Amino acid sequence: MQNTEQSSGEDELIRLLLKRQSELNSLLEITRAINKNAATTILIQMLEVILQNYLQVGSFRFLMEKDGSYACISKYGGDFEPIGELSRACATQHKIKAPKSLAGSANAVLKKYDYFIPINHKSKALAFALIGEFNTSGEMLNNDLNFIQTMINVVVVALENKKLFRERLQAERLQREMELAAEVQNMLIPLRMHKDESVEIGAKYLPHQNIGGDYYDFIRINKHEFIWCIADVSGKGVSAALLMANFQASLHAWAAVEDDLTNIIDRLNKKVVTNTQGERFITLFIAKYNEQTRKLNYINAGHNATILYSEGEAIPLKLGTTMIGAFEDLPFINEGEIDIEPGSLLVNYTDGLVDIEPSGDKVWGEDQLNDFVLSHGELSPDAFNQALMDHLNLNIKGKPIDDITILTLRIF
């Protein structure tokens, strides 16, 4: 009798050791797969195979936290519940730290399963698992439940690391894209502004977040004529910067051969539509000035109106068309023409200048900018730009929500 009992005990010990060895082998296989950066689907398949074939778990639901809610990333066996019901049922167990029996549960979803397996990190519930149709001996139950929790925990940690790695790569990619876009844009912005006996130009450019979509340019096309432009492309990043680079090249090419601003705008619109398929657009103000006739021709393509300060008046230049890139054919183009008196100041800007969020009860917008021009229109371009920025910083004390570009010209 004693020999029989001793033999039975040895058999049980051997069975336990073999089971532990199998568990270690299972964990080792999963760890090897993780170290080889196996895909998420492979890790989930390995987990399911071990649960079904080794532990004889008949039904399984595995939910993992994603963006504040829980997604079911693995399920087999039984009738599948709506994910919302499953997530809400598991959320009622968020304080549970160890595997828990669901026998006698009042919840209609949970009572279909045998055990609830939580996966926590500090006070945060990272994942939940439900196992059903799970028959194991009383002696091995705690061991099996702890093994299941450990195995799922290893998979969860691996998936979390994959997520963090992807996020880091994405952040690095975005940072590099912003750096490339900044390099492109720096090549587009003139290093120094033009000044001669006919015109003096001052400019300020303040990107909101390292790289923006603003652009300005000055082109002397012959001895007596010059063109200038200020523009704002939708979007940010490399694609926006490359679009602006293409826009600049097209503008310079057509400004050299086209006398008519209307034709230039029409050509620019077709080019942007071709390049972007209507997914991006550009607002711009473009003007051409003849020093002999003192005629200024301009087109405002959906941009903030340039302000002409002359003889004590501030006049917004609004004639033009819609933004370019939005329509294959512009619905209308109204080219403006105006005589320029000696000493006139023209203030061009992008919407970031008037889209500032003032602090307190301060008010700032196009009307207030117009008043500022009336009060400071006799300053030189550089002095005007600096006075305007000082006014915003000292009086408005607002928070810019976009890039700020100011291009100011004094025509003698």
**What is residue 25's predicted lDDT score, i.e. its pLDDT?**
82
**What is residue 278's predicted lDDT score, i.e. its pLDDT?**
79
Of 62-76, 178-192, 251-265, 338-352, which gets the smallest average pLDDT?
178-192
Residue 205 has pLDDT above 60, yes or no: yes
Of 18-22, 240-244, 272-276, 304-308, which gets the smallest average pLDDT?
18-22
Which tokens hold the place of 198? 């006919």
Across the chain, mean pLDDT equals 86
**What is residue 335's predicted lDDT score, i.e. its pLDDT?**
97
The residue count of the chain comes to 412
45-59 pLDDT, tens digit per residue, is 999 999 988 888 999
69-115 pLDDT, tens digit per residue, is 888 999 999 999 998 899 888 888 878 889 999 998 999 999 999 99
User: Which residue from 248, 250, 228 is spatially nearest to 185, judged by alpha carbons?
Assistant: 248
Residue 389's pLDDT band (cuts 50, 70, 90): very high
Q: Are 30 and 156 in contact (CB under 8 A)?
A: no
Q: Which domains, from first to last, does the chain contain?
A: 2-164 (3.30.450.40), 179-411 (3.60.40.10)
260-305 pLDDT, tens digit per residue, is 999 999 999 999 999 888 788 999 999 999 999 999 999 999 999 9
Alpha-carbon distance of 34 to 38, in angstroms, equals 6
Cβ-count burial of 387 within 10 angstroms (0-12 exposed, 13-18 middle, 19+ buried)? middle
Euclidean distance between the first and final Cα of the chain, in Å? Answer: 120
